[in-house]
Structure 1
């Protein structure tokens, strides 16, 4: 694992680009400052693609990325082996205009990161900046109101003031302008010792605040150069340079349960998230034409695996899948599967597991990808065919399932980036308390359903609840389990159980009675 911050990003960027060009595929993972909003935005089994996209989009707009992991899998020539080059990038947004970037923080998410050793000081102090296309365009088109000579003259004025200032003193510079501030900051970072002065915006005016006076040991060169605005914007593009190279390479991108990761990647590095779900799919597919979701892939590959070995793919969490496909039983079944070894920079991972560090999770994702494909290939071919098979054969096996992203607990099985999504067949059940049982019994219903997997309940009124099961098999299990219940009566949900239909029927009856009464009165009068 190689940790990448803004201190070493520029020096490592050429190396990363070269490795991406050599790679067979790149595995990714991301960590966020939050992953859920208020309860009104909760996910539901009845969410379609557009509904779920709207909820995920709200999350991606509210929160920020704090870490991205890339594990670049390079095939060794003439060897049945991959070398995994793993990088963990700390990301922290730069100022991108006259106002600071704002993002939400979910305490439970940050607590989770802290438990797994996340370095918050490194994130805030040395995180790499980034811009999406719209932000970069706006900055490049920003007017430059100050010439290079004017900025140098103002800088020399600040230095002269600092030699005699006291800690806490402030010097008014001019009305705040973003390009002036950024260019001035770049000169100060380059020529002054750290923690001497800071630029502050006070009521629209720019001030220099003295943190620590400088002495005569700080000598300025006679010729001070100012970085061009394009150079500064290039630096601010930051990690987006990596994402753009991934897009240009056309290499397969592999993630686990990767849909939310892609929303963040699109919004922070590519463009503002589109309004419609279909536009989002088209945007991501144009940028990253080949994406594999290992969670969906494991589900799909079960059909190729011998029945007795399918339990090895029965897990949904990344860590459980990684352990399962690394077990002795899986290794025996996979026969000639490619080995995966760490590069020298990632040797820290040998014998050590860094859970929920983005780089290590990306590495695990890549290993699961290689192993599940090898597992499926071994199950379907003779040993001599497997020995001759190249990785391209594994990708050929996976090709029908590319761009299918798992959407858990929803009305669709997966999001298809290049076509129609596949719908899930939901099963609806009606629940009511038995005679003599209190209405408060509904408070127990959620707990009773919790052991059945993809199931949720919605109370319709004091006497009725709707239960949604993720499949008919699950619905049948529920009917069988509740058949002898002393508390509830469960049966299939009928058309007339709908509150809307019931309300409409009541109104029809009322209108019908009124019409009949009116007709009777009319006949009587005649």
Structure 2
């Protein structure tokens, strides 16, 4: 369900009640950018250093779409309510990464809808963005909608009620004007539908046909906020009442690759992030005592490849296949008004990278992993509570303790000259016959190889091993592989110095 500044007040009560009664909720966001071009992330960074960079990212960019999917166990099924919020900063400026916007545009993002219907947001310290502002002149949309309301009200109250009764008038109308008009009329208990050619230019006068709505065609207004000015209040407060619901009930929060999502969430709705990384973790734990990251859990599905990149859609597809293999698969249902993300329909695939849909499949993935692999299965789900995956890092963020490496035996190796990645693999025995315990074909050895920089070579490499090994063992392994490797490259490289000297070896994070 899309939530904008025009319908947020009508949706709020249902959202609040669902949050209070749910088992957990999943969350996803789409941002205007996530990269810090002046200070790139390095493979050797600990999270304390990365936090300083990420703080600048979340203060520079914004999350303009936020998806919240609420999951409640009903018998042997899960009832899911997925909300897709459009958020718009109503004053000041923010940065936009054009590559990020192009990516989202190619995936069907409706930016016009965001700009015309986005909800304001604000932190709890400063209050909602509109609160306390001096009233200003009416916007053009307000002026146009007031004119429509005046004509429609007169027709609705004065003309006799009949099935084919309608009003036709010419007006300048677009989505924002339409939504404002409908909202104002609903406050007067005037229920109508408007039809017009939406393909015409936004500033063009068009013919608008107005028809009465049957009394039974709309829900009774019993779900409206108690305040008779709820619609206007909701539009002014924007997302803030929803944010308070997210943090009030202390329900488990589920996300995917969640490092930046949490930072954007707190920065935009709770206030500026603290300078100190440990203080930030305490703040996160205060708002969300229980967090699960599906990327963290997904890594446990493939023990042999803990550094495998699990994008959300791939992990979801893996989970769905796992669920279908069960004698009695988990079922997921939604009320009729929430069937926008029915994954049985092929068209749903185009919703990937829409925040509401991504939160929906994140929650489903979590349910399946917990059901199939938890409770004494192959994954100790509770062990991975509050352990957050960090994109591009070898560390997990531990919200309530010390951060830890994804693979404990992860080392930084420094050479006296640049080493191309294939040569680096050769130095570490990957693919060298006769080196026992090395390579992907055995139970132990080199897990993966990363260059520190995004170029094809580097003087520094980060390497993860799948067996317990120390610095001396790594140095001995390189020496053994170097001797055996010389025989392989001798026919090609006859000069001395093909293999670089090792300057330093240390465990990452020490």
Normalised by the size of structure 1, how large is the TM-score?
0.64
Matched, 1:116 2:107: yes
Equivalences for residues 378-417 of structure 1 within 5 A: 380=377, 398-410=381-393, 412=395, 414-417=396-399
SS of 1:17's equivalent in the other structure is helix
Match of 2:292 in 1: 292
Distance in 2 separating the partners of 1:403 and 1:29? 17
Task: Please list the CA deviations of residues 180-205 of structure 1 after superposition, one character each: whole Å capped at 9, or x if unmatched.
Answer: 32789998587455979xxxxxxxxx
Matched, 1:323 2:317: yes
Matched, 1:469 2:424: no
- Write the deviation string for residues 142-171 of structure 1: whole angstroms up to 9, x where unpaired: 5xxxxxxxxxxxxxxxxxxxxxxxxxxxxx
Structure 2 unpaired stretches of 5+? 149-170, 174-202, 205-226, 431-446, 468-473
The answer to whether the aligner puts 1:28 opposite 2:38 as a matched pair is: no
Partners of 1:35 and 1:59 within 8 A in 2: yes
Please say if residues 312 and 325 of structure 1, whose CA atoms lie closer than 8 Å, have aligned partners that are also in contact: no
1:447: how far off? 7.8
Name the structure where helix makes up a greater proportion of residues. Answer: 1
CA distance in 2, matches of 1:127, 1:138: 13
Which residue of the partner structure matches residue 456 of structure 1?
Answer: 451
Separation in 2 of the partners of 1:74 and 1:59?
Answer: 34
Which digits, 9 at most, give the CA deviation of each residue in 1:311-338, with x for residues without a partner? 89965111111111111x5532x44553
Correspondence for 2:96 among 101, 105, 115:
105
Does the 8 A contact of 1:131 with 1:236 survive in 2? no
CA contact (8 A) 2:19 2:70 kept: yes
CA deviation after TM superposition for structure 1 residue 398, in Å: 2.6
- For the pair 1:344 / 2:336, whether they are aligned, the reply is yes
Q: In 2 relative to 1, CA 25–298 (structure 1 residues): closer, same or farther, beyond 3 Å?
A: same
Distance 1:189 1:418 in 2: 53
For residue 127 of structure 2, give the secondary structure of its aligned residue in structure 1.
helix
Residue 163 of structure 1 is matched in structure 2 by none
- Tell me if structure 2 keeps the 8 A contact 1:313–1:324: no
Aligned to 1:219: none
- Closer, same or farther in 2 for the Cα pair 1:456/1:93, shift >3 Å? same
In structure 2, distance between residues paired with 1:277 and 1:255 = 20
Between the aligned partners of 2:479 and 2:35, the Cα distance in structure 1 is 29
- The TM-score normalised by the length of structure 2 is 0.66
State the partner residue of 2:49.
51
CA 1:457–1:292 in 2, change beyond 3 Å: closer, same or farther?
A: closer
1:110, CA displacement in angstroms?
0.5
Pairwise CA distance, 1:490: 4.5
Q: Which residue of 1 is the match for residue 39 of structure 2?
A: 41
Quote the residue 1:70 is aligned against. 68
- Listed as ranges, the matches of 1:120-131 within 5 Å are 120-131=111-122
After superposition, the Cα gap between the structure-2 partners of 1:74 and 1:449, relative to the gap in structure 1 and judged at 3 Å, is farther
Give runs of aligned pairs for residues 218-257 of structure 1, distance below 5 A: 235-257=235-257
Alpha-carbon separation, structure 2, partners of 1:233 and 1:185: 20
Structure 1 position 280, deviation (Å): 1.0
Partner residue of 1:17?
16
Per the alignment, in what secondary structure is the counterpart of residue 374 of structure 2?
helix
Question: In 2 relative to 1, CA 47–232 (structure 1 residues): closer, same or farther, beyond 3 Å?
Answer: farther
Equivalent residues of 1:252, 1:290 under 8 A apart = yes
Decide whether aligned partners of structure 1 residues 336 and 493 sit closer, same or farther in structure 2, where only a CA change above 3 A counts.
farther
Q: C-alpha displacement at 1:411, in angstroms? A: 5.0
Q: Does 1:356 align with 2:353?
A: yes
CA drift of 1:269 comes to: 0.6
Q: Does 1:133 align with 2:129?
A: no
Q: Deviations over 1:470-523 (max 9, x none)?
A: 413597699859934567415544379xxxxxxxxxxxxxxxxxxxxxxxxxxx
Moved more, 253-262 or 449-458: 449-458
Taking only aligned residues, the RMSD between alpha carbons, in angstroms, comes to 3.9
Say if 1:68 and 1:358, in contact at 8 Å, map to a contact too.
yes
SS in 2 for 1:409: coil
230 and 275 in structure 1: CA distance in 2 versus 1, 3 angstrom threshold: farther
Change beyond 3 A, Cα 1:312–1:344 = farther
Q: Is the 8 A contact 1:25 1:253 kept in 2?
A: yes
* Count of residues paired in the alignment: 388
Residue of 394, 400, 404 corresponding to 1:418: 400
- 1:372 equivalenced with 2:369 (yes/no): yes
Gap regions ≥5 residues in structure 1: 96-100, 143-177, 197-210, 213-226, 304-309, 382-393, 434-441, 497-526
Distance in 2 (CA, whole Å) between partners of 1:284 and 1:185 is 41
**Which secondary structure does the structure 2 equivalent of 1:41 belong to?**
coil
* In structure 1, distance between residues paired with 2:129 and 2:102: 36
Check 1:62–1:472 CA distance in 2 against 1; reply closer, same or farther (3 A cut): same
| CA distance 1:492–1:9, shift in 2 (3 Å) | same
**Equivalences for residues 207-226 of structure 1 within 5 A:** none
Alignment counterpart, residue 489 of structure 1, candidates 474, 488, 499: 499
2:80 corresponds to which of 66, 70, 84 = 84
